[in-house]
Structure 1
Amino acid sequence: MHYLHIVLRYSALSPPIAMMAYFVIQKISNRKESRFMLEILRRIVQDVGAAPDLSSALAITVNRIRAAMKVAACTVYLADEDNRSHVLMATAGLNPQAVGRVRLGHHQGLVGLVAERQEPLNVADAPRHPRFHPVCEVCEEGYHAFLGVPLIQYRRVLGVLVVQDSAVRQFDSEEVDFLVTIAAQLASILNHAILSGATQELLNPLNTHTRALQGVAGAPGVAMGAVTIPHLLADLDDVPDRLSQEVASEEAAFHAAIAAVEQELREASDRLAPLLPPTEQALFTVYRMMLSSDSLIEDTLGGIRAGRWAPTAWRDAVLARVRLLEQAEDSYLSTRAEDIRDLGRRVLQHLRAGPDQHPHPAAGRCVLVAEDMSVAHLAAVPPEQLAGIVCLRGSALSHVALLARAMGIPAVMGLGDRPLGRFEGSDIIVDGYHGRVYVNPDPATRAEYRQLMDTEAALTVGLGKLRDLPAETQDGYHIPLYAKAGLLTDIAAARDSGAEGIGLYRTEFAYMVRESFPSEDEQYQIYRRMLAAFAPQPVVMRTLDIGGDKTLPYFTIEENNPFLGWRGMRFTLDHPEIFVTQLRAMLRANVELDNLRILFPMITTVEELDEALRLLARADQELREEGWPVTRPPVGVMIEVPSAAWQTGQLARRADFLSVGTNDLTQYTLAVDRDNARVAGLYDNLHPAVLKTVAYIIENGHRSGRPVNLCGEMAADPGAAVLLLGMGVDSLSASATSVPRVKWAIRSFSHAEARELARQALELETARAVRQLLNDALRRAGLGEIVHESA
C-alpha cells in the first residue's frame, strides 16, 4: 500500500500534517533494516484510533511507544485550557500516581522548552541540561536520554510527547522520525478531543469553569435553553424485517401515521405563516405533496398486503425512492432524496411509537441542535419555545442562518465535527454575536449571560427612544443609517429600527428558497412590495449574487475553490437571460415610486461593469418599447475585491455610487475564509490592511465625486461605525438589530472626535491595537456595555 494511504487511512490527520507524516514514514521505509517500524506504526495508529475515549488513547500510545522503542519511559503532557502549564496525563515508566497531579509551568523544564521551540528536543543527558527541572513526584531518577516532540495542530501546541531512557545517549534519527509521526497522529486526536470538550474534563475534573465551543456567528443575540435534537427520529435503516398477518391493523396504523404527519406539517405551516414569506411557506405544501404521493402510498400498502409489517413496507417504499434519486448526479435531486428520507423518518416515528407517544419538545425554552437543519425542523417547535439554533455544519449565509436572522433567533453555525450525542439532555447557552456555545454552563457563566440578556432587553427598550431621531453627531453632522434586508419579513424590523431606508437588499434570498428560478412577474411582486414599503426612502437592490457559499438547490455549481470561482457578476454576465429578467423586474417595480438603487456585486474589472451597464440599458429600452414608463435608477458598484478597490477611480467614473462590502473585502484581502472556524481568529475587519483599503476607496470615490456607502458587518459594530464616520464614509448599512446601537454610538461623538479616532487608527499596526483604541473611546463615551469583540 502507498505510504500516504496508510497515514490517511489509519488516522484523522489534516492533509498538511498527513503529508508531513508521509515524508517521515517514507524516510523510515527507505531503510531496509527499519521497515518493521512501519508495521508497528500502523498498529499503533489503528489501536489508538479505535480507543473508546481519550484516556484510553493516551494510555495505549505511551505503552505501545515504550515497547516499540524499547525505552524506560514514555509520557504525554497536555497543555491546559489557558496554555499556562503542561499537565502529565499518561505515562508508562514514570510514577502512575503523578498522572493528573504534576503540572509544569508553560516555560518550565525541558517539556516547556519543547513547547517554546515547537520542534523536537534530543538531549543525551537531561539532568545536565540548564533547563532541566527535577520533579520528585514522577520518580525519574536514573533517566538520562530525553527526546521530546511537540503535539501541534493548526499552529497550536496541544502538548508534548516524551520518551526517556536510562543510558546517556542521543536518540538516533530513526527514533526521532518515528516519534514525530506518532506525535502528528496524536495531535489530530487531541484536537478532536478539544473540540468535543473531552480534554476539559480530563485536565480539570474538578474545575467548574465552562469552556466555550467556537463556531461561526449565524444570527445575533444570546439564548439559553434545553437542547432538543430534532432529527433523532426513527432510522429507516434500522427497521427490522418482520412479517405480519394482521393486514387490517397494519393498514390502519399506516394511514394514522400518514395523517398525523400531514397534521404536523399543516400546524407547523400555520404557526410560521406570520414569520415566513410565501416562497418559504410553499415548502410545506411540497412536503405534503410528497407525503401523499399515490405511488408511495400504494407501494407501502402493497407490501403490507404481501404480509410485511407496516414499518418494513414503508421503509422499502421510501428507500427505493431515496436510492433512485441519490443515483442521479444532480444536487437538486439529492436534496429531494433527503427530504423524502426525512418524511420517511417522521412517519416511521409514529408507526413505531404509537399515536400517543410521538415525542415533542419539552415545555420551556429550547435550543435546536443538529448536524444539518431544515425548515421542517424549525417548524417542529412552537415559535414561543424556540430560543436558539446550533448547527454543526453550515455557514453564516446558509438557509437556516438566514431564517434565524429573519425570525430574530440567535444562531451559531459551523460548530464542527463534534459528537452530537454529547449535547443531548444538556442545558446550553448560544452566543450568536461571537459564534460561541456553552454546554451545561457553570453558575458563573450562566449568571454572566443572564445579566447580558437582561442588559440587552433593557438596552433594547432604551434604544427604542432613538427610533425617530437622526444618526447625527453631537456637533450636528448627519450620516444616513440604512438597514439590510433579504426577506420580505425584514420590512417590519427595518422600519422599527429607525433606519432611513434599505442600504442593501440581497435579492438572492428569493432565489435560494425556491424550487426554480423565479419569473419576472414573481420578482416584480417581491421588489414592488419592498420598494413600496419604504418609499420615498431609498432601497438599494443588489442583483443576484450567488456562488461561494451561496448556492441554488436547482442550479449546480461544483468548483474546487468556489470563493474564487463563478460567482457574483461572473455568473450573471454569463447568463444574461437571468440577469436581464431580474433587471426588468426591478425597473418595472420602480415605476412611479422612484426610490430604487441598483447595485452590482463582485465587480472585478471595468469591462464587467461596462457589460452590466449595457445589459441594464437593454432592459430599460425593452420596457420603454413595451410601453412601461420606466426611469433609469442610480447604479452602484460593490467594492469587495482588491482589484476593484485599486480601480475605484475608474469604476466611480462609470457608476453613480460605490458600496464597500467589507465581509468579502476582508476575506479576500486577508486570504481568510470567514466561515471556516479553523481560521476564524485570523478574520478581522479591523486589520490595518483592511482599514487602509477602505480609506483608499473612500478617498478615490470622493475624488471622482461619488458617494461611498459601507454595507458589511463592519457597519454593525458601534466602534467601527464611528471609525468609518471619521474616515469619511457617506452612509452606513447595518442589520436592523444593529441600527439602534450604531445610531447611539454616532450620537455620542462629535464629527471632530470621529476624525481624530480614524487618524489614530490608521497609524496602528495590529487589529488588536485598533480594537483597543475603539473600545477605550466607547467606554469614555459611556458605551462600553454595547461593545462586542469581533469573533
Structure 2
Amino acid sequence: MLSALRGIVQAVNAAPTLQAALDIIVSRVAEVMGTEVCTVYLRDPDTGRLIFMANQGLNPDLIGKVSLGVDEGLVGQVARREEPLNLEHAEKHPNFFYLPGIGEDAYHSFLGAPIIHQRNVLGVLVVQQKDSRRFDEEEEAFLVTMSAQLAGVIAHARATGSIAPAQDSVVASATFKGIAGAPGVGIGRAVVMVPATELSSVPRRHSDDTEGELAAFSSALESVRNDIRSLSDKLVDQLSPEELALFDVYLRILDDGVWLSEVEEKIRAGEWAQGALSQVVSSHIHTFETMEDDYFKDRATDIKDLGRRVLSYLQASHSEPTVYPDNTVLVGEELTASMLGEVPREKLAGMVSVRGSSNSHVAILARAMSIPTVMGASDLPYTQIEHADLIVDGYSGAVHYNPTPEVYEHFKLLSEEDQALTQGLEALRDLASETLDGHRMPLWVNTGLMADVARSLDRGAEGVGLYRTEVPFLLRERFPSEEEQRMVYREQLLAFAPLPVTMRTLDVGGDKALPYFPIEEENPFLGWRGIRVTLDHPEIFLVQVRAMFKASEGLDNLRIMLPMISNVQEVDEALELIKRAYDELVEDGWDIHWPPIGVMVEVPAAVYQARQLAQRVDFLSVGSNDLTQYLLAVDRNNTRVADLYHAYHPAVLNCLKIVVDAGHAEGKSVGICGELAGDPLAAPLLMAMGYDMLSMNDNNLLRVKAVIRSSQYSDLPALLDQAMNADTADEVQVLLRRALADAGMERLLPPAATS
C-alpha cells in the first residue's frame, strides 16, 4: 500500500483547490481499499460541526449541506475521542446516527479515522462497506496514515483561506506561524523575491501587457530550442544515434501544443509569463510523477529541466528593476544577504523567509539592522501573496496576512508603543546598570557586524560578551586569510577599546553552514560543529587565533571563548593550540599579552563538568539558546515543536544555577550570552542566581537596564526561590511577569509577553 499512498499524496499535492484534493482522496482511497464508500467530513472552525464535504458512493447532492455535531453519530465520536473507530455492525452501535437521504442505509462496516493537525481535529475520514466485517489492521493503519497526510493539506487550505470549494487563491485574513528572527513589528506590502530558475518559487503576478508576455514566452522557447539543437550538434560525434534521440524528445516536448496552449491561455487571462509557465509545468510534472510507469515518471525530469531552461530566459528578459514600495516586506523561500542588500533600507519594513532559522545569516543581519523578521514560515503560500498587506511580528514569529482592521490597529499600536518606549529609554544610556540598592550588573552586547558597534556604544554597552567570528566567514566565498581576519577583528577591538571584546572561535555546523565548506549531516545539531570542527582542522583554528592575537596588539582588550565544549579534553587541546600560536607570535616580535580564555556552556555535559572546566579557564559563559534546546531535546528552529522550547523550564533554570555555583566555587566569573540574557523578564532571576554579566542584542540593552534600575536586589533571592520551586515554565513566567508588574515595570516587557 506504500506505493498507493505515495501516488495519492502526489496527486493531492498537485490539486489546484482543496475540493479537488478531497475528491481525489475519496475516489483513490475507495479504489485502493476496495470499499464502496469513502467520505471526508471537515470541522467548521466557527461552529465545530463536522460538514459532509466529499464522498464516493453516497448522495453527492448533500455535499456541503449536512453536518454532524461532535456529540452526534459515529463520525462525531471519532472526532471527539480523537482515535479510529472500526465496527462490523455500525448500525448496532449506541452512537449510530441516521442522516436521512445520505444513502448509507445499506452499509454495515465502518472505519473512521480523525484528521488531526498540531493537536487540532480538522475532520474525519471514513470508509464503509456493505459486508459486515471488521477492517483488518493493515487497512486501519492505511486510513490513519492517509488522515495524517490529509491533515497538512486541510490545515494549509484553511490558513490560506481556500477552505471553500473551488477556490484557488488566498483571499481571507490568515496567520502563519514561523520562528522569531529579529524583534519588532513590521507593517507593509509583500514583495516576493524569486530565486533564479526555480519553478516552484515563481510568484503569481498580474500583467496588463499580454502581448509582451506572449512575445517573451515565444522568444524564450525559441532560445531553448536553439540551445538544444546546438548541444546536439556538439555531441553528434560522441553519442550514439539512440542517445542523440533524447534531444529530439526535448524538441518535441518544446513543440507540444497541449502545454504551450495552456501557458498561453493563462497569459491571456492576465498572468505574467513566468507565473503561467511555472503553474503549467508544475502541474504536468506532478501528473507524470504520479504515473506508475517508470518511463512516464522519467518524463517528469525532462519537463522540469526544460521548464527551468525556459524560465531562465524569461527571467533574463524581464530585466526591469524591482520596484520597492514604501514599507516593503521582503518575502522569499530562502532570503539571502544579497537579496536584503537590494532593498533601500528606508523602504524595508520587515522580512519573511519560508526557510531558515533564527541563526541564519540573514536573521543575524536583520537583528543587526533592526528589521523585524520571521524565519521558517513554512506554511506561508509565498508565491500567491505578491503585493498583499502583511504584518511581521518579530517577537512571536507570526505573519499576519490581509490583517483585519482590528489586528492592524493592535499591531500599529504595539509598534508605536515600542518606538516610544525605545526613545524614552535613551536617557538611560549613560546611567549605571545597578539596582536601587546598589548591586552592579554589567550589560554587554552580542555583535557580528560593524553595524552593531555604533548602536551598542550609543546604548551604553560595557563590553562585548559574544563576537560571532563566523560572520566574516559567511560574508566570503572562501576562508578569509589571516590578514583579512586580523583587519576585521582589529576594527571590533579598536571600536570598543578599552572595553573587553569576547571573540568566539569559529562556530559553524548545526544550522550555520559555510557555502564553501558544507557540512551535510542527518542530525547536524548533534554532529560536527563548533570546537569539534576547528580541532579537526587546526590549520583553520591556528590562523584565526593568530589573527585575533595580532589584532589585539597595543589594545589588550581581547578575550577568547571556545564554543560547543562537551569535555575537558577539548579545552586542553584548544589551550595547547592557543599557547602555540601565542608563543610563535611573541617569538616573531609581536607585542601581545595572554588574554582571558573562557568556554561556552551550551551542552548538558558541560553543565555537570562546569567546575572542572572552570579550573582550566578564566571564565564561563552560558549559551542559553543551545543549552535549552539540548536539555529539552527541542530544535528551536522547528516550528512543529517550537512551543516546547521554554528557556524558563525548571530543568533549564536548575542548570543555570549549577553553572554559576560551579564557576564561583573556582573563583571564576560567569556570564550568559543567549537570548535569555536579553529578556527583561529574566534579568531579576539571573541577577539573583549570581551571574556576573549579561550579554545581549543591543536592541534589548536599555530595556534590561531599566528593569535592573527598577529592582531591589535584596528582594530577588525570595523571587528566585519561588521560581526554582515552580513545576512548569508557564508558572515561572507568570511569577516573573507579576513581579515586574508589581514593581511598575510591565511596560518594559516585549509586546509578545504582554499581548
TM-score range (shorter-chain normalised) is 0.7 to 0.9
Does structure 1 residue 121 correspond to structure 2 residue 118? no
* SS at 1:226 equivalent: strand
Note if contact 2:502-2:559 (Cα within 8 Å) is conserved in structure 1.
Answer: yes
Does structure 1 residue 765 correspond to structure 2 residue 727? yes
* SS at 1:541 equivalent: strand
Note if contact 1:231-1:377 (Cα within 8 Å) is conserved in structure 2.
Answer: no
Cα distance per residue 1:70-106 (max 9 Å; x no partner):
877543233455896644433453685462763624x
Of 653, 675, 683, the match for 1:713: 675
Note if contact 1:723-1:757 (Cα within 8 Å) is conserved in structure 2.
Answer: yes
Of 211, 227, 233, the match for 2:190: 227
The Cα of 1:753 is off from its aligned counterpart by 3.0
Q: What aligned pairs does 1:544-693 form with structure 2 within 5 A after superposition? A: 544-693=506-655
The Cα of 1:197 is off from its aligned counterpart by 4.4
The code of the aligned residue for 1:583 comes to V
Tell me what 1:306 maps to: none
Tell me what 1:187 maps to: 148
Note if contact 1:230-1:368 (Cα within 8 Å) is conserved in structure 2.
Answer: yes
Tell me what 2:440 maps to: 478
Over 3 Å counting, the alpha-carbon distance change for 1:208 and 1:766 in structure 2 is farther
Tell me what 1:54 maps to: 18
TM-score (ref. length: structure 1):
0.75
Paired residues in the alignment total 651
Report percent identity of matched pairs: 46
The Cα of 1:119 is off from its aligned counterpart by 2.6
Separation of aligned partners in 2, 1:83 and 1:473: 52
The code of the aligned residue for 1:10 comes to G
Of 186, 202, 220, the match for 1:240: 220
* SS at 2:681 equivalent: helix
Tell me what 1:178 maps to: 139
The code of the aligned residue for 2:148 comes to A
The Cα of 1:364 is off from its aligned counterpart by 2.0
The Cα of 1:743 is off from its aligned counterpart by 1.6
Does structure 1 residue 439 correspond to structure 2 residue 415? no
Cα distance per residue 1:16-75 (max 9 Å; x no partner):
xxxxxxxxxxxxxxxxxxxxxxxxxxxxxx654543211122133335556776877543
Cα distance per residue 1:115-174 (max 9 Å; x no partner):
45443112455566455567779787787654321224566544221345678x4x4233
Task: Between 475-484 and 379-388, report the one with greater CA deviation.
Answer: 379-388
The Cα of 1:352 is off from its aligned counterpart by 5.1
Note if contact 1:120-1:148 (Cα within 8 Å) is conserved in structure 2.
Answer: yes
Separation of aligned partners in 2, 1:343 and 1:748: 63
Note if contact 1:580-1:616 (Cα within 8 Å) is conserved in structure 2.
Answer: yes
Tell me what 2:266 maps to: none
Over 3 Å counting, the alpha-carbon distance change for 1:494 and 1:108 in structure 2 is farther
Separation of aligned partners in 1, 2:550 and 2:653: 38
The code of the aligned residue for 2:682 comes to A
The code of the aligned residue for 2:220 comes to P
* SS at 1:240 equivalent: helix
* SS at 1:709 equivalent: strand
The code of the aligned residue for 2:450 comes to L
The Cα of 1:342 is off from its aligned counterpart by 12
Tell me what 2:362 maps to: 400
The code of the aligned residue for 1:678 comes to R
Over 3 Å counting, the alpha-carbon distance change for 1:619 and 1:457 in structure 2 is same
Over 3 Å counting, the alpha-carbon distance change for 1:79 and 1:634 in structure 2 is farther
Does structure 1 residue 412 correspond to structure 2 residue 389? no
* SS at 1:738 equivalent: helix
Separation of aligned partners in 1, 2:590 and 2:647: 43
Separation of aligned partners in 2, 1:776 and 1:62: 52
TM-score (ref. length: structure 2):
0.78
Over 3 Å counting, the alpha-carbon distance change for 1:73 and 1:352 in structure 2 is closer
Over 3 Å counting, the alpha-carbon distance change for 1:507 and 1:66 in structure 2 is closer
Separation of aligned partners in 1, 2:579 and 2:488: 22
Q: What aligned pairs does 1:102-251 form with structure 2 within 5 A after superposition? A: 102=67, 104-105=69-70, 110-124=74-88, 129=93, 131=95, 146-153=110-117, 157-164=121-128, 169=132, 171-174=133-136, 177-178=138-139, 180-195=141-156, 197=158, 200-202=161-163, 210-231=173-194, 240-242=220-222
Separation of aligned partners in 2, 1:136 and 1:761: 58
Separation of aligned partners in 2, 1:623 and 1:69: 74
Q: What aligned pairs does 1:41-120 form with structure 2 within 5 A after superposition? A: 48-63=12-27, 65=29, 74-79=38-43, 86-92=50-56, 93=58, 96-97=61-62, 99=64, 102=67, 104-105=69-70, 110-120=74-84
Cα distance per residue 1:743-776 (max 9 Å; x no partner):
2222232223332222112112222222222222
* SS at 2:671 equivalent: strand
Task: Between 430-439 and 781-790, report the one with greater CA deviation.
Answer: 781-790
The Cα of 1:664 is off from its aligned counterpart by 0.8
Separation of aligned partners in 1, 2:45 and 2:461: 43
Does structure 1 residue 784 correspond to structure 2 residue 746? yes
Task: Between 759-768 and 157-166, report the one with greater CA deviation.
Answer: 157-166
Of 451, 458, 481, the match for 1:519: 481
Task: Between 379-388 and 454-463, report the one with greater CA deviation.
Answer: 379-388
Note if contact 1:231-1:370 (Cα within 8 Å) is conserved in structure 2.
Answer: yes
Does structure 1 residue 736 correspond to structure 2 residue 698? yes
Tell me what 1:304 maps to: none
Separation of aligned partners in 2, 1:650 and 1:418: 47
Task: Between 580-589 and 602-611, report the one with greater CA deviation.
Answer: 580-589
Cα distance per residue 1:247-297 (max 9 Å; x no partner):
xxxxxxxxxxxxxxxxxxxxxxxxxxxxxxxxxxxxxxxxxxxxxxxxxxx
Note if contact 1:48-1:61 (Cα within 8 Å) is conserved in structure 2.
Answer: yes
Over 3 Å counting, the alpha-carbon distance change for 1:129 and 1:203 in structure 2 is farther
The Cα of 1:539 is off from its aligned counterpart by 1.3
Over 3 Å counting, the alpha-carbon distance change for 1:534 and 1:177 in structure 2 is same
Separation of aligned partners in 1, 2:310 and 2:675: 40
Note if contact 1:717-1:788 (Cα within 8 Å) is conserved in structure 2.
Answer: no
Cα distance per residue 1:591-612 (max 9 Å; x no partner):
2322221111111110111111
Note if contact 1:110-1:133 (Cα within 8 Å) is conserved in structure 2.
Answer: yes
The Cα of 1:781 is off from its aligned counterpart by 2.9
The code of the aligned residue for 2:464 comes to I
Over 3 Å counting, the alpha-carbon distance change for 1:626 and 1:399 in structure 2 is same
The code of the aligned residue for 1:240 comes to A
Separation of aligned partners in 2, 1:557 and 1:232: 23
Separation of aligned partners in 1, 2:163 and 2:641: 26
Cα distance per residue 1:525-566 (max 9 Å; x no partner):
211221121222221111111111111122232222221111
